[in-house]
Structure 1
Amino acid sequence: MSFNPYVPRPIDRPTPVPLADDTDLTTLDEAKIFAAPDDPAQWPAWRAQLTRWRADARQRLGDTGTHYDEISGDCFSICLAWLWDETLYDHERGVFTVEEFLDTAQRDFGGFDGVVLWHAYPVIGLDDRNQFDWYRDVPELPEVVRAFQERGVRVFVDYNPWDTGTRREPGSDAEEVAALAGKLGVDGVFLDTLKEGAGELRAALEAVRPGMVLEGESRVPLARIGDHAMSWAQWFADSDVPGVLRAKWFERRHVLHHTRRWHRDHLDELHSAWLNGVGVLVWESVFGVWVGWNERDRAVLRAMRRVQASHAAWLRAEEWVPLADHPGSGQVYASRWTHDGEPLWTVVNRGLDHDGAWLVTDARPGRRFVDLVTGAELTVTETGDGRVAVGGALPAGAIAAVVATGTTVDRHEPPGGDPSFPARAAVRVRAPWAPRTEPPAGLVAVEAGRRELVVRHRVRETGLYGETPYVDEWKPLPPRLHHTGTLHRTATMGRFAIAVDEVTHGQYAEFLRATGYRPVRPERFTAGQGRVDAPVTGVDLTDARAYAEWAGLRLPTEDEWQVAAEAGLLARREPLVWNLTESEHTDGRTRFVILKGGAAYQAEGSDWYFDGGPQPPEVSVKLLLTGAGLTRSDQIGFRVAADLAPASAPGEVTR
């Protein structure tokens, strides 16, 4: 491996700012963060160079900021949410639960300004449905969008430019994205894997509704800040002394969202966001893997949210002084924002517990200096020449927001809480018991015993079971990503029987005639409608279990399926389809199941697609379970199994 995944890559690191007056500053155009000098004596020259660069860059680009005039409201805190997250969708009832989702967000994070509903990756490529189908086939999605917006939350959809190997649309991607955004009534589009979506996509969106936001996944190019109102600050490493985000410095109304998806400690991102007047992206279930925020970080964000709500105009003000009014020693740093002549200082402690001055500023007779985060009045000490030192106790890692006021400020508990990772397990749903004394017709017996299994899987961001594939890593790249992983599993199983063949459409039609079964969500339910001898498809896990229960059987576990297949006991019908197994897991946020056997379909053109094609018995693939019938596919079927009594020894009666 040619890189260390636990340290920032060169592209992620802050960019030093030349301090000589005659230096060409165009080298700063594509920085992520402008690094700050360690020596406070150099900060005035550093700020002067940043100001010179900004004026020159805005003139070179002819930037007017008119795009930002079309956009109302602020969007500091964004949640990237799986559309079928168990806090957003009730899988048993088949309904969305937007109110419950937002109530939980308010309690945990102080609420969100926006939500990105990600929908297709990592299930896209299962069949020929394209990324737009995975949105369009949810009939109530426009109502879901409106439910968020009625609570003051802006909604964004996701565009995957790499989706070129599934069903093609008659129009261009830009046309389809714009049409979808217009139909759903969303506020903008997040650009997966892209820095920008200029040109055709910007024009298509403007034709539908002016002012829709484009947000790229990485560092936004300088020329695109003018028409991309938001951008990810993903894997941005700051300097030891807090630096300045280039895009925010260029356009004060531009909102970045700090995020490091695999990190379990977000204090660095929160500090940088606080000093730069920008936001964060909360992403607790990363493509089906739990990477939840700890309570301390949630508490810090809740405190930030209160000030962002009351002082948003300050955080987009033209008068912004980074590393302002430093007391001369220590690792307490502040940005000063001035709106209508009134200053606001956003403050962080990047060092140890501190008790002393946070900043030195002009005295303001008749006013008290107060921390809006806690509501506490601060200690003020005269330093001479009409200036005062303002501060008090500030624990390590803490934030503050200082104002000079003559009014009463509400008191709040200081942000705190457990900084450890809030682990949660992916718990396997208990398999039903389907006892038989002998294998039913069409099933073959497999003896009990302990098996040492080798399981192979493609290492994706989903993991395979409940594990987190990348912990505290920066951007995973090959060979850490998409290689073949190997797990060794010890499986102890009782005697069981498993069907030689998959259940057919004809057999499923018999079940439907006998029971009148109808699923809670009927979308894409085509079981029993195909060729009578073809494997049944158009079923989800609930549909398959209903058939098995009717037959007095169950689905095989993934281990049983593998043992039987490796013993040569399983046949495959045509066309080849994935087999569901009795392996449903949930961590309370994401549900998934393990598929075995492979399928005839295989999407080509991108490693981001779901696995396809025929697969040997040892290969397992994790499928995230969706709602509204979307898990049903013409590439997924199932077979059945039963629990058998132990085989009798000669002359012995089995009871």
Structure 2
Amino acid sequence: MDLGEVDWLARLNNWKRDTAGAQPAWLAAMQDWRTAQLARIGYDDSQYRRAELQWTQKNFVQTQAMVEDRYLYDPATRRYTVQRFLDDLKQRYGGIDSVLLWPLYPNLGIDDRNQWDMLRDLPGGIAATRQMVQDFQRLGVRVFFPTLPWDGGSRDPGLAPAEATARLMAEIGADGINGDTMNGLPHSYAEAAARSAHPLVLEPELSFKEDAMLAYNLHSWAYWDASLVPLVSKWKWLEPRHMVHVSDRWATDRSNTFQAAFFNGVGIQSWENVWGWWNQMTARDAAALRRIATIYRGVPDLLVSPQWTPHVPTLHYGVYASRFPASERSLWTLVNRNEFRIDEAILKLEHRPGQRYLDLWHGRELQPRIEAGQAVIDLVLEPRGYGAVLQYQGDTLPSGLAPLLATMGALARTPLQAHSNQWQFLPQRLVPIAATARAASAPPGMVHIPAGSFDFRVTGIEIEGENRAGMDVQYPWEDAPRRGHVHRMQLSAFYIDRYPVSNEEFRRFLDDSGYRPADGHNFLRHWQDGAPRAAETGSPVTWVALDDARAYCRAAGKRLPHEWEWQYAAQGTDGRLYPWGNHWDAARVPAPSTARRLPPLPPVGQHPAGASPFGVEDMVATVWQWTDEFEDEHTRSAILRGGSFYQPAGSHWYFPQAHKLTEHGKYLLMAPSKDRAGTLGFRCVQDAR
């Protein structure tokens, strides 16, 4: 969020011609505005003075982490691996100060579970989640969870959202709340946190809709335009102790984000796992973040200076600086917005006898030229590079600076430009599905799908991400993951269940096999006393994880379908959009529900007019159906087909439907307890001779 005043912004951009001449008048106007604005809102800084919240002023690097990230949770051992997660970040870019753990979107809305239910469904439940939070905190990392104001179509929690969130955060011991899509968290969240007797830091995603929110939202995010002249953070200008985290989740070159943050002396959102799309920062960006964070952590008291002065004059076009003064020390942060190196006469500073100067970015002492009571500072600023100057009084190096200089000196031996700025997508792997014994004729309840040529055309319906490399999934014939897929296939004959597996069929499987999952949370949660309700025996079985479905198919000598087999069975060879043709016909599928509670599922076989060209029924708008699994180093996902009849209302952010046969849903996988859903079932296939 910049100051938003058109005249001030125009003056900033006029500095492209006259930096020194414009700065005094601009700064005076900024200071007058701040004084008047703080008085207008009756600003009270008491929250920033609370001893238990002082850590917020040193929370420089925050990452958003999907709970599904395989570095955070190991599905094989069913354990959280916090140390591994943090070690990776420390090794690559110096580590983090806080983490925003994300258990909700994009899976939220596949059924009627609300945002609080989804968090409670994390593997191991509240006890394991609380322990995971404590593991982060023990290692010096604060923990945030999101709250979603748009989640009004799922199960009613029976409490006001602020109250439900604050109580749950207190239960798991979290440190803060991130308000997704929120222009400031309302005061009701602060009041709810006070009632819970558990301090919570409020952090909205978007800029405050009312300036008074600054008093109790101690953090915020920022999405800033990449202008030549760095913008000034409105909220840090009003309250220097306020911590902003600058974010650009889609950027594959983060230099604009990092320079904007460093100029303002504010924090950085190091988000890399973006809804399952892995956007790892380049080696150059990682090296820059490590150095920025090292300086921040070395002189944190200066960055909250109430006399912070942005846009102090420099001696070069395209070089911008801020000053953070204290009684005996001052810090200047500099950014070179030019595409070339500058290394001479960067700053001219007021000088007094006994003052000394450190080049913090390179970890060395400076020997400036002293001219008429001013020190002329020479620095090396790489192309699109950074600088940091510390001025102090006396012969003794201030406490804590010796190790900072040593660390920065070692890092500076390798210029940022020597690190690669090449971004690379993360390849994916299709998890193999073993072939079955080949059947000579159709097993009971199955339909024969003949061999044939098939144009497999499908598009992922992720809400965000455009068509970036690495989005959606990567089939074995593709050289990169991408959203849209086209491939001519020659399919062998197979058999597929005419209907999704029913509750009664799954009950018989349990009785015959004795199968019980290792992670039983939410397993068949719609059943009563270990059996389906009488009215639902013929309805599709749901609340089964991918492993549960595979176990059923395996016991029957079958397997789950590959996605292209499912689509071929539903579509035939003419590329139709729906099993019956190219135009939607609501009479051929179950009536949709938008209720806040998931109603009982309709029985299978009630809509024969919706059958595919091969006679396969209930392919769309009944229940989602498991097919293929994909994985990369950080994320596992499953391709779901067919969509469901249940569509929670009120937000386009809920897990989107894929009723068209040319669309699929990508469902992030973590653990059976969370993956199971009330609208997610399956059908099996068997290979044919």
Tell me which interval the TM-score lies in, with the shorter structure as reference length. 0.7 to 0.9
Q: 2:310 aligns with which of 307, 319, 322?
A: 322
Q: 2:357 aligns with which of 369, 378, 398?
A: 369
Q: Taking structure 1 as reference, are residues 198 and 532 closer, same or farther at Cα in structure 2, changes over 3 Å only?
A: closer
Superposition map of 1:276-291 within 5 A: 276-291=264-279
Amino acid at match of 2:141: V
Q: Taking structure 1 as reference, are residues 342 and 621 closer, same or farther at Cα in structure 2, changes over 3 Å only?
A: same
Give the equivalent residue in structure 1 for 2:66. Answer: 82
Deviation of the 1:167 alpha carbon? 0.7
Q: How big is each residue's C-alpha offset from its partner over 1:396-435, in whole Å with a ceiling of 9 and x where there is no partner?
A: 1222222246544302223522112132123221222224
Deviation of the 1:83 alpha carbon? 1.3
2-structure distance, mates of 1:322, 1:173: 39
1-structure distance, mates of 2:489, 2:310: 59
Q: 2:34 aligns with which of 44, 54, 61?
A: 54
Deviation of the 1:292 alpha carbon? 2.1
Give the equivalent residue in structure 1 for 2:616. Answer: 570
Partner of 1:392, secondary structure, is coil
Give the equivalent residue in structure 1 for 2:676. Answer: 632
Give the equivalent residue in structure 2 for 1:345. Answer: 332
Q: How big is each residue's C-alpha offset from its partner over 1:358-396, in whole Å with a ceiling of 9 and x where there is no partner?
A: 2111346566532223313335223x1122211232211
Superposition map of 1:600-619 within 5 A: 600-612=645-657, 615-619=659-663
Give the equivalent residue in structure 2 for 1:200. Answer: 188
Match status 1:443 vs 2:446: yes
Q: Taking structure 1 as reference, are residues 464 and 432 closer, same or farther at Cα in structure 2, changes over 3 Å only?
A: farther
Q: Which runs of 5+ in 2 are unaligned?
A: 473-482, 573-611
Amino acid at match of 2:327: D
Superposition map of 1:489-568 within 5 A: 489-526=487-524, 529-530=531-532, 531-567=536-572, 568=612
1-structure distance, mates of 2:379, 2:659: 64
Q: How big is each residue's C-alpha offset from its partner over 1:532-557, in whole Å with a ceiling of 9 and x where there is no partner?
A: 43322221111111222222221111
Give the equivalent residue in structure 2 for 1:37. Answer: 15
1-structure distance, mates of 2:103, 2:683: 28
Q: Taking structure 1 as reference, are residues 214 and 36 closer, same or farther at Cα in structure 2, changes over 3 Å only?
A: farther
Q: 1:247 aligns with which of 235, 239, 251?
A: 235
Instruction: Report if aligned partners of 1:125, 1:603 keep a CA contact under 8 Å in 2.
Output: yes
Match status 1:309 vs 2:297: yes
Deviation of the 1:85 alpha carbon? 1.0
Give the equivalent residue in structure 1 for 2:288. Answer: 300
Q: Taking structure 1 as reference, are residues 34 and 503 closer, same or farther at Cα in structure 2, changes over 3 Å only?
A: farther
Identity %: 33
Deviation of the 1:333 alpha carbon? 2.4
Instruction: Report if aligned partners of 1:258, 1:280 keep a CA contact under 8 Å in 2.
Output: yes
Q: How big is each residue's C-alpha offset from its partner over 1:503-556, in whole Å with a ceiling of 9 and x where there is no partner?
A: 233333333344433323211111873244332222111111122222222111
2-structure distance, mates of 1:182, 1:292: 32
Deviation of the 1:459 alpha carbon? 4.9
Deviation of the 1:156 alpha carbon? 0.9
Give the equivalent residue in structure 1 for 2:149. Answer: 161
Instruction: Report if aligned partners of 1:555, 1:641 keep a CA contact under 8 Å in 2.
Output: yes
Amino acid at match of 2:39: Q
Q: CA RMSD in A?
A: 2.7
2-structure distance, mates of 1:395, 1:465: 30
Q: Which runs of 5+ in 1 are unaligned?
A: 1-11, 20-27, 470-484, 646-655
Instruction: Report if aligned partners of 1:336, 1:343 keep a CA contact under 8 Å in 2.
Output: yes
Deviation of the 1:300 alpha carbon? 0.7
Q: How big is each residue's C-alpha offset from its partner over 1:423-458, in whole Å with a ceiling of 9 and x where there is no partner?
A: 212322122222414243333332333311343554
Instruction: Report if aligned partners of 1:307, 1:372 keep a CA contact under 8 Å in 2.
Output: yes
Instruction: Report if aligned partners of 2:106, 2:275 keep a CA contact under 8 Å in 1.
Output: yes
Give the equivalent residue in structure 2 for 1:6. Answer: none
Instruction: Report if aligned partners of 2:3, 2:233 keep a CA contact under 8 Å in 1.
Output: no
TM-score, with structure 1 as normaliser: 0.86
Give the equivalent residue in structure 2 for 1:135. Answer: 119
Instruction: Report if aligned partners of 1:454, 1:618 keep a CA contact under 8 Å in 2.
Output: yes
2-structure distance, mates of 1:435, 1:292: 42
> Which shifted more, 394-403 or 444-453?
444-453
Instruction: Report if aligned partners of 1:35, 1:242 keep a CA contact under 8 Å in 2.
Output: no
Deviation of the 1:629 alpha carbon? 1.2
Give the equivalent residue in structure 1 for 2:596. Answer: none
> Which shifted more, 97-106 or 424-433?
424-433
Q: 2:43 aligns with which of 21, 38, 63?
A: 63
Q: Taking structure 1 as reference, are residues 575 and 608 closer, same or farther at Cα in structure 2, changes over 3 Å only?
A: closer
2-structure distance, mates of 1:284, 1:213: 23
Deviation of the 1:558 alpha carbon? 1.3
Q: 1:455 aligns with which of 443, 455, 458?
A: 458
Partner of 2:674, secondary structure, is coil
Q: How big is each residue's C-alpha offset from its partner over 1:587-619, in whole Å with a ceiling of 9 and x where there is no partner?
A: 22222111112223211111111135x824333
Instruction: Report if aligned partners of 1:82, 1:287 keep a CA contact under 8 Å in 2.
Output: yes
Deviation of the 1:306 alpha carbon? 0.9
Deviation of the 1:296 alpha carbon? 0.8
Give the equivalent residue in structure 1 for 2:588. Answer: none
2-structure distance, mates of 1:468, 1:364: 57
1-structure distance, mates of 2:159, 2:12: 41
Instruction: Report if aligned partners of 2:348, 2:374 keep a CA contact under 8 Å in 1.
Output: yes
Deviation of the 1:149 alpha carbon? 1.1
> Which shifted more, 245-254 or 592-601?
592-601
Give the equivalent residue in structure 1 for 2:84. Answer: 100
Give the equivalent residue in structure 2 for 1:599. Answer: 644
Deviation of the 1:274 alpha carbon? 0.6
Instruction: Report if aligned partners of 2:502, 2:537 keep a CA contact under 8 Å in 1.
Output: yes
Q: Taking structure 1 as reference, are residues 34 and 16 closer, same or farther at Cα in structure 2, changes over 3 Å only?
A: farther
Amino acid at match of 2:688: L
2-structure distance, mates of 1:285, 1:191: 19
Q: Taking structure 1 as reference, are residues 393 and 294 closer, same or farther at Cα in structure 2, changes over 3 Å only?
A: same
Instruction: Report if aligned partners of 1:36, 1:241 keep a CA contact under 8 Å in 2.
Output: no
2-structure distance, mates of 1:13, 1:445: 63
Q: Taking structure 1 as reference, are residues 53 and 458 closer, same or farther at Cα in structure 2, changes over 3 Å only?
A: same
* Higher percent of residues as helix: 2
Superposition map of 1:370-385 within 5 A: 370-382=358-370, 384-385=371-372
Deviation of the 1:253 alpha carbon? 0.4
Instruction: Report if aligned partners of 1:293, 1:422 keep a CA contact under 8 Å in 2.
Output: no
Match status 1:72 vs 2:54: yes
Deviation of the 1:578 alpha carbon? 1.3
Partner of 2:308, secondary structure, is strand
Superposition map of 1:457-472 within 5 A: 458-461=461-464, 467-468=470-471
Q: Taking structure 1 as reference, are residues 520 and 359 closer, same or farther at Cα in structure 2, changes over 3 Å only?
A: farther
Amino acid at match of 1:359: L
Amino acid at match of 2:15: P
Amino acid at match of 1:223: A
Deviation of the 1:281 alpha carbon? 0.9
Q: Taking structure 1 as reference, are residues 367 and 34 closer, same or farther at Cα in structure 2, changes over 3 Å only?
A: closer
Q: Taking structure 1 as reference, are residues 434 and 523 closer, same or farther at Cα in structure 2, changes over 3 Å only?
A: same
Q: 2:410 aligns with which of 392, 406, 412?
A: 412
Q: How big is each residue's C-alpha offset from its partner over 1:223-256, in whole Å with a ceiling of 9 and x where there is no partner?
A: 211111111102x115422231111100000111
> Which shifted more, 269-278 or 391-400?
391-400
Instruction: Report if aligned partners of 2:3, 2:234 keep a CA contact under 8 Å in 1.
Output: no
Instruction: Report if aligned partners of 1:87, 1:101 keep a CA contact under 8 Å in 2.
Output: yes
Give the equivalent residue in structure 1 for 2:575. Answer: none
2-structure distance, mates of 1:210, 1:529: 41
Deviation of the 1:464 alpha carbon? 9.1
Instruction: Report if aligned partners of 2:240, 2:305 keep a CA contact under 8 Å in 1.
Output: yes
Q: Would you say how many aligned residue pairs link Structure 1 and Structure 2?
A: 603
Amino acid at match of 2:385: A
